[in-house]
Amino acid sequence: MNRVHRWICASGRWKKELEEFLPKVLDGIEFGDNILEIGPGFGYTTEWLRRHFKQVTALEIDPDLAHLVRNTILATNVRVVQGDGTALPFKDKSFSGAVAFTMLHHVPSVRLQNRLFTEVCRVIRPGAMFAGVDSAGGLRMRLLHIADVLVPIEPATLVPRLEGAGFAGVSIKVDGRRFRFAGVRRPETI
């Protein structure tokens, strides 16, 4: 992230905004007791998740941010792992659900985004949910991401991409500058 983006994502205002919209994003979705969070950034979403789920594993690609989150959320039900969402360092079917909040546009290509979706599908159990929210793009997003990675996802393309990764029942809801998504890992067939 560039400096402006880091400043915004580390702000109390962003934390408050997350506290307001996270319940809406996850409303009505059952994740079980062992959830995976991809890309916690500064850990505000992780802090919210730890209060609502029995066990949270947060995977962060940036070593400095992983260290920050790990040291901020000490002695809790959160395990912080530094790693890449396109090559998840977890066994198949390790988690009862997964989430990704405002981070998918930081994955540097559509191919790698699709790889992340496939990896998430691999590490959650059949019937488990993958859900989250991301920004729908636009001028404000492009300005915020000057000299930063920005590969916005066109919401209309997300259903076939998630289905191709192994999810079913995919839903997308565009809400202003954001879109919410949810899908369930298909049951295994014999």
Fold designation for 3-185: Rossmann fold (3.40.50)
What's the full length of the chain, in residues?
190
Return the structure tokens found at 2.
Answer: 């560039």
**Domain definitions of the chain by residue range:** 3-185
Cα distances from 116 to residues 11, 20, 105, in angstroms, run 27, 27, 12
Distance CA 168, CA 127 (A): 9
Find out whether 182 and 131 touch, Cβ atoms under 8 Å.
Answer: yes
Q: What is the mean pLDDT of residues 66-79?
A: 90
* Model confidence, pTM: 0.89
Q: What is the mean pLDDT of residues 95-104?
A: 95
The 8-class DSSP code of residue 140 comes to: H
Question: Which tens digits make up the pLDDT trace of 140-167?
Answer: 666 565 667 778 899 999 999 999 999 9
Is 127 in a helix, a strand, or coil?
strand
Residue-wise DSSP of 5-57: HHHHHTSHHHHHHHHHHHHHHHTT----SEEEEE--TTSHHHHHHHTT-SEEE
Predicted local distance difference test score (pLDDT) of residue 111: 97
Q: What is the mean pLDDT of residues 8-37?
A: 82
Q: What is the mean pLDDT of residues 116-124?
A: 98
Q: What single letter denotes the amino acid at residue 24?
A: K
pLDDT at 183 over 70: yes
